[in-house]
Amino acid sequence: MTDRALVVVRAGALTTVQDRGRPGYAHLGVPRSGALDPSAAALVNRLVGNPPDAAVLETTLDGCALRPRSSVTVAVGGAPCPVSVGGRPAAWGAPVVVPPGELLEVGTATAGVRGYVAVCGGIAVEPVLGSRATDLLSGLGPAPLAVGMVLPLGVPAGPPARVDGVPQPRPPAELVLRVTPGPRDDWFTARAVRDLTTRVYRVAAASNRIGLRTEGPVLERARPGELPSEGMVLGAVQVPPDGRPVVFLADHPTTGGYPVIAVVRAADLPAAAQALPGTPVRFVPVRRR
């Protein structure tokens, strides 16, 4: 049995294994999945010397605690939070060595929602369709972390980065999401289209890896009924019958029957993944590139 493993001591509210997901299978009903904040995941991988597609842990609000069986270099990034090793404070956003048997404690986020923990060598659970990501919609990939779970680690690809830390964007107080209209904006009243881009929404507590749910002005439909099922993209702003827009994130369904009024630029989705419930959201119309 290998010593290159982590034992889960505290799983946190929701901690999953994530990488860049499994694009290319949407036609079989397989969501892309993958880290909600891919730039934060890539950064912590770089800090420990991993390739950008190595699997990391994605935490939700309250972190997690892990005990490595051998000495490992880790880096914690994404949502800022306190980090400690063996009870002593350690650096956030920088490579940290955790000796064998010592406890790595990733604390509650002081801003933002999703934290990322990279371990040199990457989390080496068995890939499914080319990815180790946990997909909470379809159940592919490993189950979310649970106390006592043992996570195998891969072989380190290279030495950790020779930087002490790198700046990471702090979660904004207001979430600004640039949108292009359509493809189904004609299913809504002119007023609804105007409301979406001029009124303020708030992030709803029911948000998850599938979608960022919002509270705010109800978007009224110009025509009733459902669309025949059609393909859905990442960032689609789908409007269910309650009239409150949902922004599709990584675990979104591949097809759906509720109309999509607009699509959020992919570059703005990492910020959406870090927005706490109650954060104001503005949808800002932009020209298509």
Partner 1 sequence: MRALRVGDDALLVEASSGEEAQALHAELLRRRAAGALTVREIVPAARTVLLDGVDDPARRAAELTAARVPEVPSRARELIELPVRYDGPDLAAVAGRWGVTEREAARIHAGTEFTVAFCGFAPGFGYLTGLPDRYDVPRRATPRTAVPAGAVALAGPYTGVYPRSSPGGWQLIGTTDAVLWDHARVPAALLAPGARVRFVPVEGA
Residues that bind partner 1 (CB under 8 A): 23-30, 128-129, 138-140, 180, 182-183, 228-233, 235-236, 253-255, 260, 263-266, 288-289
Residue owning tokens 């195998």: 152
CA atoms within 13 A on the CB side of 183: 7
Check: CB of residue 122 under 8 Å from CB of residue 50.
yes
- Of 71, 33, 74, 20, which Cα lies nearest the Cα of 50? 74
Closest CA to 164 of 91, 94, 61, 242: 94
Which DSSP letter does residue 131 get? B
> What is the β-pairing status of strands 280-285 and 96-98?
unpaired
Nearest-approach distance from CB 239 to partner 1, in angstroms? 15
Nearer to partner 1, 71 or 255 (CB): 255
Q: Which is closer to partner 1, CB of 41 or CB of 236?
A: 236
| Least distance to partner 1, CB of residue 245, Å | 15
Rank residues 171 and 235 by Cβ distance to partner 1 and give the closer one. 235
Asked whether the beta carbons of 258 and 241 are under 8 A apart, the reply is: yes
CB of 129 to partner 1, least distance (A): 6
Q: Smallest distance from the beta carbon of 186 to partner 1, in angstroms?
A: 10
Distance CA 179, CA 250 (A): 17
Least distance CB 255 / partner 1 (angstroms): 4
Give the nearer residue to partner 1 in terms of CB position, either 21 or 121.
21
Please identify, using beta-carbon distances, which residue of 109 and 177 lies nearer to partner 1.
Answer: 177
Report the nearest approach of partner 1 to the CB of residue 100 (Å).
33
Which of 71, 138 has the CB closer to partner 1? 138
Residues in a beta bridge with 281: 175, 201
Give the other-Cβ count within 10 Å of 250's Cβ.
26
